[in-house]
Amino acid sequence: MSRTASKTIALPALPPVARLLVGLGLTLARMDDRRRTRRALSHLDAHLLRDIGLTDTVRASECGKAPWVD
């Protein structure tokens, strides 16, 4: 559950190593965003889950995913 839609970012003409490092940084940032979002979701109580239309089962399923899983 990411706050932003999955986007493909066109990288400017960079040397191959720089392009690789920028891509790695973007991937790590997305993984960290997923980790933080899932952690926040795991701390919501029942009435807040109902407000956003989720059940405990859906929350458990989402929070159990690894950060690299979209």
The ranges assigned to domains in the chain are 16-63
* pLDDT single digits (tens) 5-25: 556 667 668 899 999 999 999
Question: Are 64 and 27 in contact, with CB atoms under 8 Å apart?
Answer: no
Residue located via tokens 């997923």: 34
Residues above pLDDT 70, as percent of the chain: 84
Question: What is the average pLDDT value for the chain, to the nearest integer?
Answer: 89
* Cβ atoms of 44 and 7 closer than 8 Å: no
Question: What is the number of other CB atoms lying within 10 angstroms of the CB of residue 35?
Answer: 14
**pLDDT 10s digits, 17-67:** 999 999 999 999 999 999 999 999 999 999 999 999 999 999 999 999 999
